[in-house]
Structures are given as structure tokens and as C-alpha cells.
Structure 1
């Protein structure tokens, strides 16, 4: 294998036997090396094969600045996440997570520690992703001696939310989704003056619905209305009057804050989930 580009002393771009670009990392792998020279295979510690050329280009730029130990920590976290989350992750996670870790480590070394106001909500609503974040906190402490706050685990968790989708705004959307879910949940709690059993199936269904509901708000996606829905709404108003009133309060809040008009069908579904959630109150 020959060197196509030297990124830094520990990283080069080469091609595999199929002619596909790969990023090779290893301590001193590019020391005194130039384009066109052979790669010392004995120094290769990690190989990154990213299929999307645009993602690979972004990853190259991150690797130029990020030390090898940080890149390898990010790679270990991603491997852990694949097992923990049990889903396919978009390749952009290599860019997002490595870049985030590098920036966070630089901040901590400069004495700058950011707090995450949604930390506990993220931990509660996305326990598996938060567990991955805590694994990252543990690895950074063990490998680099840097004590990340638990807040950083929540920030890292956001990197993995919806990362199987394409696009570059996953983390920001995940943060906004968490905020919307928390806001709506608070409206329901305040309306019924209660707390919920977060281990119950109805709570799980409610929160799952709110996550998709928040996603529809952020993507400006609407359910269509029809006459059947209006008939069902009339039935729900008789059967679940309090739940419907609460759902309408959510409707007004979302319209006021997010300029998103909730359809009758959306109000109907929300009413059903609220009614299930509070049926034993």
C-alpha cells in the first residue's frame, strides 16, 4: 500500500486492494514519509474505511487536528455504541463524535466546563445513549486522566441520537426533541398534579409518542385531517374530557412557542396517550 496523503505523523490516506481510500493510523506511521512511498504495515494500529467520500473528507480534516489517542478513544466508544444501541450508525458519527471529543478535551484542559441543562432529561429519556456517554467519560478518564462531568455524557449521548439518519444537524435536533418532550411532559404533569411511573408500559408508550411528535414539529410534518377524525374527536371529548383539555393545552403551547399547528388527528392521538397514562389517577 502506498501513501496518497500524509495527514500528520500518525495518520495517512492510502488505498486498499480494491482501490478504495482508507485512513490508516499508527504511532509514527508517517514520520519522514511522503506521498507515493510505501506504508509500513507493521505500524498500522487502526484502519478506517468510510464508504461515503464526503464523510471521509470531513473525517480527514478532523484527524489532522485531533491526536491519535483521541481518535482511537472515539472509535472505541462507537464500537461500544454499536453493541449497546443495537442499530446501524451512520458513518458521520466518526466525524461528529471525534470532533466533539477533541473540542471537549481542549475545553477541559483550558478550564472550561459546560453544563447541560437537559442532562437528567436526556439520561431519563435516552438511557442507552446516556450509558454510551458515561462509557466515554470513563474512557477519557482512564486514557487521558481528564475528569469529564456527567454533563458531558449527556452531550455525547446527543451525538448518537438519530445518527442513523442522514444530514448534519442530528445533535441539535436531538437536543430540541428532548426539550419539546420535557416541555410537553411537564404540561401533562402540571395539569393532573402528579408524577408518573416511569417504568410503566403506558409511560413508555407516551414518551415514545412524544419523541415522534417532537420530530414532526422539527420537520414541519403534519397528519392530515378528515371527517372520521372529527367524529372520533367528538367521541373522545365525551369519554376523556380531561385528557382532551390537557391535549388542547399542549396544542396551544406548541402553536405559541414553535409556530406549529397541531392537527385534530395529532390532538386525538395525544389525548389517547394521556388518557392511558392517567387512567389510574
Structure 2
């Protein structure tokens, strides 16, 4: 394996079958030049990311920060994939590693950033949030720094972003999605004067639906199914109270986010709200 590029003393780029790989190891580039062979006994990690753009950005990140942060990020991502049983978009290698490095640097400078949606993150992302807490344990173990719980929420959002789309460069969009989910839940809660059973399968399904609905709002995509006209009329008449609640949601979304909810989206929102309200009252 010949060195194509030296990123720092501990990371180099090699090329195999027209694919650039980032190879890391302590002192792997010490006294080396482009074209030299990589000492295989020094290799600790090899990264092959999904496309050239992501690969180039990751190379830039690796060249700027200590290897320990990249290794920690990789350990957290591997743990997340195992826990969730899902693939995560490769952009998380950039966003999560950069966030952890920035968060630790900021904390050591005495700056703590509050996570205004921490409570909602705990409720909406019950699989991802514990991974954020484990990440804090790993950070403390490696760097002897205990970051505040707010950071577990931010890390969870990075994981959610990698699950949902991964094309976004920042986690801000997922943060907005979480906010709109909370706003819709509040409308339903106050409209029916109920408390949700957050452990129920119906609540989980409703949250999952809201997650993808909110994603469409910020992506300006509308769900349409021309075959549901008859069903929409039936649901509208059968679940009148839930449909009236959806109309309130639709007005709120249009006023605040300039997004018009289609009849198809109203149909599925009505069904989900009817289910969760019925189960909550029961």
C-alpha cells in the first residue's frame, strides 16, 4: 500500500482499486513521503467512506484534529449501529467527530451550550438518547472530561440525522423537526385534554409518523395518493373530533411554516390521532 497523501503524522491516504482509503495509526506517517509504502504493523483503522465528497471532507477533518477524537467517534458510531441494527449515513463520521471535538474544546474553555429540546429528545428518540449517554461515558473514560447531559441530546440528534437522511451538513434540520413534533403533540394534548402513554405502541407509531411528516415540511415535499379520495371522506365523517384537531394542526403549520397539508396527510394524521386518543382515554 503506497501513500497517496499525508494528512498528519498519524493518518495517510492510500489508493486501492481506484478507491481512496484513510489509514490511521500512531506515527504511521513519521519520516514518510508520498509514494512510500505503509507499514502494515502500524495500521489501527482503515476508513472507506461512501462517496468522494464525504471522503474529502473527512480527510480534511482528520488532518485538523487529533487521532483520538476520530477513534472515539468511530467507536460511538459502531456502537450505535449495533444497538439500532441500522445503517447510518457516512456523513455522521464528519458531523459527530467534529461535534465531539468542538464540544470538548468548548467545555474546557468554560462554555456550556444548553439543549433547549433535551426533554423532547429523551421522549422522541428513546433508542438514540441512551447511545448519547454511553458516548458521554466513553468521552469521560478517554479524555477525563464529563460533558453535561445536554450533549447526550445533541449526539442523539446527530444519530437521528444519519438515520433519516444524512445528506444535511448540520443537525439543525433535525432540531427543527423535533420542535415541530413537540408543537403538534401539544395541539393534540390540549385539544383532547389527555396525557399520552409514552410506552405504548400507538404513541411510538404516532411519533414515527410525525417524524417523517415534519421532515416533509422542512423538505417542502407533500405526500399525495390520488387513490384515497373515498377513504378521506369516510375518515373525515367517522373521526370528526380527530379531524377537527388535524384542521387546527393544518392551520398552525400553514401560518408558522407556510406549508399546506394535503388531504392525504390529513387522512393519516387523523387516523393516528384517533388511535392514540382512543387508547389514552381507555
Query: What TM bracket, shorter-length normalisation?
Result: over 0.9
Conservation of the 8 A alpha-carbon contact between 1:93 and 1:159: yes
SS in 2 for 1:195: coil
Report the Cα distance in structure 2 between the residues aligned to 1:193 and 1:246, rounded to whole angstroms: 12
Partner of 1:168: 168
The corresponding residue for 1:276 is 275
Q: Is the 8 A contact 1:11 1:25 kept in 2?
A: yes
Alignment of 1:108-257 (within 5 A): 108-164=107-163, 165-169=165-169, 171-224=171-224, 229=229, 232-257=231-256
- Separation (CA, whole Å) in 1 of partners of 2:225 and 2:29: 62
Q: Distance in 2 between matches of 1:221 and 1:22?
A: 36
Q: 1:88 to 1:233 in 2, by over 3 A?
A: closer
Per the alignment, do residues 238 and 160 of structure 1 end up closer, same or farther by CA in structure 2, a change over 3 Å counting? same
Cα distance in 2, alignment partners of residues 19 and 276 from structure 1:
53
Q: Is the 8 A contact 1:93 1:160 kept in 2?
A: yes
After TM superposition, the structure 1 = structure 2 runs for residues 80-119 of structure 1, keeping only pairs within 5 Å, are 80-119=79-118
Unaligned runs of 5+ in 1: none
Asked if 1:68 corresponds to 2:46, the answer is no
**How far apart, CA to CA, are the structure 1 residues paired with 2:173 and 2:90?**
18
Equivalent-residue separation in structure 2 for 1:244 and 1:217 (angstroms): 19
Query: Within 5 Å, which residues of 2 pair with 1:24-63?
Result: 24-63=23-62
Partners of 2:15 and 2:253 lie apart in 1 by 51
Residues 121, 178 of structure 2: 8 Å contact kept? yes
The alignment's TM-score, normalised by the length of structure 2, stands at 0.92
TM norm structure 1: 0.92
RMSD: 1.9
Pair 1:126–1:183, CA change in 2 (3 A): same
2:257 corresponds to 1:258:
yes
In 1, Cα distance between the equivalents of 2:30 and 2:109? 29
Cα separation, partners in 2 of 1:226 and 1:62, compared to 1, 3 Å: closer
Asked if 2 retains the 8 angstrom alpha-carbon contact of 1:177 and 1:215, the reply is yes
Gap regions ≥5 residues in structure 2: none
Q: Matched residue of 1:23: which SS? A: strand
Displacement of 1:33 in angstroms is: 2.1
- Please, which moves more after superposition, 50-59 or 74-83? 50-59
8 Å Cα contact 1:216/1:222 also seen in 2:
yes
